[in-house]
Structure 1
Amino acid sequence: MKLLLNLVRKDFNRNPAITTALTVFLILAALLMAGGLRVAGTMISAYDGLNYKALPPDYLQMHKGEYETAALDRFVASQDGIADFLTVRMLTINNANIVYQGETLEKVLMDNSFVVQNQGFDYLLDMDNQIATVKDGEIGVPVYYAETLGIATGDVITLKKDDYIKELKVATIIRDAQMNVAMTSSKRFLISPADQEALSQQLGEWEYSFEFLLKEGLDSGALEQAYAAANLPANGVAVTADLLNLFNVFSYGLVAMMIIVISLLLIFMAMLCLSFIIRATMADEQTAIGEMKAIGFPGKAIATLYQMKYLILMGVAGIIGYLGAIPFGNFFAEAVVRYCGTGSNPGLKWGLPFLGLLFLSGMVAWGCHRVVKKNLHSTVVELLRGTGGRRREGHYALPSSGFKHPNLTIALGELACKWREYGVILLVFIFSAFLMLLPMNMKQTVQDPSFITYMGVGEADIRIDIQYSQQLTQQQERVLAVLENDPDIEKYAIYKNGYVQAENSQGEGVNIRVESGDGSIFPLVYLVGQAPVGKNEIALSSMNAAELEKRVGDALTVVYGGETMNLTIAGIYQDITYGGKTAKAAIDFNNEDVEVYILYLSLAEGVDLDLKTNELRGALPDIKVTPVPSFIAQTLGGIVDNLSRVEAAAMAIALLLSALITVMFLKLVMAREHRDIAVKKAIGLTNRDIRIQLGIRLLVIQGLGILVGTVLANTLGEGIFSLMLSSMGATRMTLLIQPLKAYLICPAIQLLVVTITVIGGTRAVKHYHIKEQIVE
């Protein structure tokens, strides 16, 4: 063992650049694998811990307006699977009446309700994940606002309408297992019962949440169908635990998913580099291996010698990667810890990374054993002659007619002869370009104004929401009056949203959220078919179509207001709102059944979006007016922040990988071509010429790698992004890019990094002399 360790140490000393580069490769793979799994473990632990303490409902139905308490009580008594039932009274207050530091919350998309602490389940928790309490004159503020608006304990929230003013001191920041993330468009403030009653006399409207906790193992879908069949109050959205989980996992889990994908790519690249280095090293040391075999050195011992170096490297990389994953994982898991706490099972964030590193170590050990064993099959005679396992290399013949561009001609000629050697570095350059572009393109897509088409509506500039209230008709008429006489508005459309009942493939009744309005004003791009025309057609979101097992041309029977309608499915579109389950049809909902009116407007050319938004807010003080870019940013804000972090990390890793593989490859190529380099010097080529030729080879390979990586980022990348969003209802994504950044700036940065690396890495050329080859 001592002899083997000495041989390994000497090999480290002989090839420090290659060893260092490979070690960094393995460290990065270990760091990302352990870091991604640490984020995943933290997310699982934190989310489970929050749910364990808060006990969110398995099913809830929102409702505005009057309702019959006895009907609900009879329904609860008739359902054996219900473990507990709760009616939550929520005082919904317009954002224009909520003031923080002198500014209203009109710019905030969220609907804000003021509630008291629940009894039995669905608790609001403080930042220690204990049941939050507030006294009269105090308020608990959602963690979402603590992060986005900077609200902290000790601050004052003012509720104001006309001459009425009430100030509440922020006593605690609260976590809400139902409404934590930005993708849930409602938020709950915690106040005392006395303050809630006092506020209700002056401003706001009551909204109710009928919440059900099920016995363990029961499905919320069955309860949802039973509730719909009982014709109970349902003037609002219905939410299941699965939908809440979907919002949370998507918001918190995207970054972990991206990191793990990147780490798997890095593992693949590290295995390629490892295989290449072992083959190159053993090809150059065939004589030494033959001598060891000739004197009776066992094949197993030789294999151990060559494997030990890389297993030691993997051990070092694993330790550094595991330790580095602690701050790395904590940084990327910061949001989930802030929103959910440290969790109920902290061991997950320590155990999952360890298992991931065991997997990585096993991959490295298997790869080493496979390559070494394959290279030891040659006989002693073949090894001593230098022919064992060595591929026949191409040799470039200088043209007899001379050169017009000698360095370019020689470099391309050698590249053509020895192209097999460049397969590994080409793949690394491809994946580096892919890693750099994919998160950047994903972020750009989510931020682009056209992303609203994945929210079930065509492109627009401003969105106006008219929530259900006793003055719904008057509010609608007032909005239309303002818009009709405004020359700054090019076009607008109004859509009313309500619910109808349909049958799924099992014959069970399901509620479908339907948007009714003129779809031709802001047209969608349909996956299949077209927008519904007339009252006999309906369009389904892709998730609804999948759940109902319907295709374009199929019939769908829906029931609304006691009337049965036989509709034909005209088209299928994408929608990531409301869990991806929506529909579009010309259904004339009664005012009391309308959950919300949504208006979209496009401004005339040259009209400033922010100024127009503020003007409309002044004209419509009780109605929510939101610029579409802000609507997207607030709905997907946390996801964009996570993508920004991943984008920065991926860019740094991609550039570092490009530099490392360039250094490693240059050292190996120069070591194997030292005879060729000496011959070139003998025929009059300078050190500068030879360095330029090496640089041309690598830059040509990198240019090809960037080209292929860019194509993959825009094709395979779209598939990856679509897969991530498919659970939300977007089954087919089109990545939107910034051409200047994607096609010019990023490739230029990669080429610059490799060029600088080549300049530094080829300085060793001056040490190769013809006289040394004559002596050999």
Structure 2
Amino acid sequence: MKLLLNLVRKDFKRNRVITTALAVFLILSAIFMAGGLRVTGIMLSSLNGLNKMAVPPEYVQMHKGDYDEQAVADFVAQQDYLEDALVVRMLDVNNAQIICNGESLEKCLMDKGLVTQNENFDYLLDQNNQIAIVKDGEIGVPVYYAEDLNINVGDTIVLQNGAYQKKFKVATIIRDSTMNSSLSYSKRFLISTNDLNEVALHMGEWEYCFEFLLKEGVSTTVLENAYLAAGLPSNGVAVTAAIFNMINAFSYGLVALVILVISLLLITMSVLCLSYIIRATLAEENHAIGEMKAIGIPAKDIIKLYQIKYTIMVVGAGMIGYLAAIPFGDFFSATVIRYCGDGSSQWMQWITPLVGIVLLSLFVIYRCHRIIQKHLKRTVMELIRGEENTKQEGHYRLPAKALKAYNLSMALGELKCKWKENVVIFLIFVFSSFLILLPMNMNNTINNPVFLTYMGIGKSDVRIDIQYSNNLEQQKEEAIAYLENDPDIERYTVYQNGYVQSQNVEGEWEYVRVQNGDNGVFPLEYLEGKAPTEKNDLALSYLNAVDLGKKVGDAITIIYQGKEHVYNVCGIYQDITYGGKTAKAAIDFDRKDIEGYMIYLDLREGIDIDNHVTKMRTVLPNSKITPCDAFVFQTLSSVIANMNQVQGVAAVISLMLTILITVMFLQLMMAREHSAIALKKAIGFSTRDIQIQLGIRLLVIQVLAIIAGTLLANTLGEVIFAGMLATVGVTKIKLLIAPLWAYLLCPAVQLGVVVMTVIIGTNTVGSYHIRDQIME
């Protein structure tokens, strides 16, 4: 063993650059693999810890307006599958009436409700994940606003409506298991019972949340059907635990998935490099290997001799990667920890990445063993003769007249003859370019207002929500009257939402949320089929189509007001709102069954959207008016922030790898072509000529790789991104590209890095001389 270790140490010294480059590849692969799994472990641990302490409801029905308390109590008493039930009073306050640090929250688009601490379940927690307690005059602020508006404990928040004013001291930052994520459109502020009753006399509108816990094994569909069939209060949205989990998975899990995808790219690049280097090393030592076989050294001992170097590297890289993944994973887990806490299963953040590192190490060691084993299958005579090195590489013809572009001709000719040797570096450059573009395109897509189309709505400038009010119809008419007379409005359309029943694949009747309106004004991209145009057409969201077992062209039976109606499934679209389960159809809902209206509009070109929205809010104070760009940004703010970080890290890593790859392959190329380079110098080529030829070869490979990487990012990248979003109802997505960055700036930076690396890395060419070859 000591002899083997000495041989490995000498090999490390002899090939420092190549060994270092390979080690960096393996270390980065290990860091991203362990880091991504650590982020995943922390996320699962944090969510489990939050849910364990907060005990979130499994079904919530929201309602605005009066209700029969006795009817609700009787319903709860009659359902033996209920574990517990709770009615939460929430006082909805206009954003403009909340003042923090001297500014109102009018530009914050989330709905805000004041609540007291719950009993039995659905607790609001403090930053220690203990049940939050506030006294009179104190308020607990959701962590979303603490982060977004830089609100700290001790700050003052003022509620003001006309002459009435109530000051609160921020006593704690609260975590909310149901409304934590930015994807949740409502946020709860915690105050005392006395303060809530006082504030309710001067402002706000009561909203009620009917919350339920179910006994194990009971489906929420059973409760939902029974609840609505009983005619209980339902003037609002219904949300299930599955939707809460889906929202959290998207908010906190997307970054972990992106990191894991990057780690798989790095692992692929590492294995390609490893395979190339092992083959190159073994090819140079064919004669020595043949001699060892000739004198009777067993093949397994020869394999051990050559594999021990790579085993040491892999084990070392795994250890470094595991340790480095701790701060790396913690950095990208900061958001989920702030929102959810440290968690109750902290072993997951240590064991999960360790398992990943072990599997990665075993895979790489196995690949090394297979490559070496395959090489040693050659006979002793083949190895000693070095038949692999004697194969003709081919030839190329130089231009006959004056060799005007001799460096270009030489470089292209050598590329033609040695193309097999360049396949590996080409593939690695492809993955390197892909590594930059994939997170960039994902981030650009999420930031773009067109992402609204994956929320089940067409792209528009402004959205007006008229929700759950006793004066619903009056508010709608007021909004339409204003829009009709506003010369700055280019176009608008009104949608209404209601519920019908349909039968799922298990034969159960369940309620389906249906939107009725002109779907041609702000069209969606449909996965299959088209938008409803006929009276009996119905389009389903992707997850609804799966749940109901329907495809385009199928007939679907729905029940509305006790009557059966048959519709034709005309299209399937993508939607991540309301758990991804919605539908669109021209159903003439009775006024009492309409839960709310949504109006989408476009302003005329040149009109400032923010200023016009401010004006509209003064005219329509009872409607929620939202600029769609701001809606996307605020809804996805936590995801966007993390994606920005991932994009930056991926770009830096990719450029660093490009440098390492270029240096490593330059070393291998110059070592293999030492005699050819010396011969070129002997017949009159200058050092600069040879540097240019090497540079052209690498740049041609890089340009082709960038083109391939860009195509790959635009095709495979879309498949990968859609796969990540499939759980929330998006199975096909069009990545939105920033052309300036993707097609100009990024390629220019990559090419510039290669040029500089070639200039620095080929300086040793000046020491090559033909006499060294003659002496050898």
Distance 2:400 2:439 in 1: 50
Residue 423 of structure 2 corresponds to 423
- Structure 2, unaligned runs of 5 or more: none
Where 1:527 maps in the other structure, the secondary structure is strand
Aligned-partner residue type, residue 4 of structure 1: L
8 Å CA contact 2:399–2:409 kept in 1: the answer is no
Residue 344 of structure 2 corresponds to 344
Distance 1:663 1:518 in 2: 60
Distance 2:596 2:99 in 1: 24
Residue 69 of structure 2 corresponds to 69
Q: How does 1:23-62 map to 2 (within 5 A)?
A: 23-62=23-62
TM-score by length of 1: 0.97
Identify the range of structure 1 (74-83 vs 1-10) with the bigger mean alpha-carbon deviation. Answer: 74-83
Distance 1:393 1:276 in 2: 20
Where 1:188 maps in the other structure, the secondary structure is strand
Residue 326 of structure 1 corresponds to 326
Where 1:394 maps in the other structure, the secondary structure is coil
1:155 paired with 2:155, answer yes
Q: How does 1:213-224 map to 2 (within 5 A)?
A: 213-224=213-224
Identify the range of structure 1 (605-614 vs 214-223) with the bigger mean alpha-carbon deviation. Answer: 214-223
1:104 paired with 2:104, answer yes
8 Å CA contact 1:545–1:572 kept in 2: the answer is yes
1:709-730 Cα shifts (integer Å, max 9, x gaps): 1001001111111112222222
Q: How does 1:627-666 map to 2 (within 5 A)?
A: 627-666=627-666
8 Å CA contact 2:63–2:468 kept in 1: the answer is no
8 Å CA contact 1:721–1:733 kept in 2: the answer is yes
Distance 1:553 1:732 in 2: 20
8 Å CA contact 1:395–1:414 kept in 2: the answer is no
Distance 1:391 1:555 in 2: 69
Residue 621 of structure 1 corresponds to 621
1:628-668 Cα shifts (integer Å, max 9, x gaps): 10011111122111211111111111111111111111111
Alignment CA distance shift 1:221-1:767 (3 Å): farther
Aligned-partner residue type, residue 396 of structure 1: H
Residue 118 of structure 1 corresponds to 118
Residue 547 of structure 2 corresponds to 547
Distance 2:392 2:104 in 1: 74
Q: How does 1:472-551 map to 2 (within 5 A)?
A: 472-551=472-551
8 Å CA contact 1:156–1:168 kept in 2: the answer is yes
Distance 2:258 2:193 in 1: 44
Distance 2:420 2:772 in 1: 28
1:394 paired with 2:380, answer no
Distance 1:2 1:730 in 2: 57
Residue 723 of structure 1 corresponds to 723
Where 1:727 maps in the other structure, the secondary structure is helix
Where 2:8 maps in the other structure, the secondary structure is helix
Residue 405 of structure 1 corresponds to 405
Where 1:153 maps in the other structure, the secondary structure is coil
Residue 9 of structure 2 corresponds to 9
1:673-720 Cα shifts (integer Å, max 9, x gaps): 111111111211111111111111111111111101100100111111
Residue 240 of structure 2 corresponds to 240
- Structure 1, unaligned runs of 5 or more: none
Computed over aligned residues only, the root mean square deviation of the Cα atoms, in angstroms, reads: 1.7
Alignment CA distance shift 1:187-1:48 (3 Å): same
1:161-212 Cα shifts (integer Å, max 9, x gaps): 1222111111110000001001111111111111111112221111111111
Aligned-partner residue type, residue 677 of structure 2: I
8 Å CA contact 2:123–2:176 kept in 1: the answer is yes
Where 2:597 maps in the other structure, the secondary structure is strand
* Number of residue pairs aligned between Structure 1 and Structure 2: 775
Distance 1:150 1:661 in 2: 43
Residue 438 of structure 1 corresponds to 438
1:212-268 Cα shifts (integer Å, max 9, x gaps): 112234332332233333332222111111111010011101111111111111111
1:443-486 Cα shifts (integer Å, max 9, x gaps): 11121122222222222111111222223233222222222211
Distance 2:583 2:675 in 1: 72
Where 2:525 maps in the other structure, the secondary structure is coil
Residue 681 of structure 2 corresponds to 681
Distance 1:137 1:286 in 2: 83
Distance 1:391 1:465 in 2: 76
8 Å CA contact 1:466–1:475 kept in 2: the answer is yes
8 Å CA contact 1:225–1:508 kept in 2: the answer is no
Residue 733 of structure 1 corresponds to 733
Identity of aligned residues (%): 58
8 Å CA contact 2:91–2:204 kept in 1: the answer is yes
Runs of 4 or more above 4 Å deviation: none
Note the C-alpha offset of 1:22. 0.5
Alignment CA distance shift 1:400-1:718 (3 Å): closer
Alignment CA distance shift 1:615-1:311 (3 Å): same
Where 2:265 maps in the other structure, the secondary structure is helix
Q: How does 1:109-258 map to 2 (within 5 A)?
A: 109-258=109-258
Alignment CA distance shift 1:393-1:634 (3 Å): farther
Where 1:10 maps in the other structure, the secondary structure is helix
8 Å CA contact 2:450–2:459 kept in 1: the answer is yes
8 Å CA contact 1:17–1:667 kept in 2: the answer is yes
Residue 356 of structure 2 corresponds to 356
Note the C-alpha offset of 1:347. 1.1
Where 1:656 maps in the other structure, the secondary structure is helix
Distance 1:111 1:68 in 2: 25
Residue 558 of structure 2 corresponds to 558
Distance 1:67 1:590 in 2: 20
Aligned-partner residue type, residue 739 of structure 2: P
Identify the range of structure 1 (444-453 vs 119-128) with the bigger mean alpha-carbon deviation. Answer: 444-453
Aligned-partner residue type, residue 401 of structure 1: A
Distance 1:568 1:378 in 2: 66
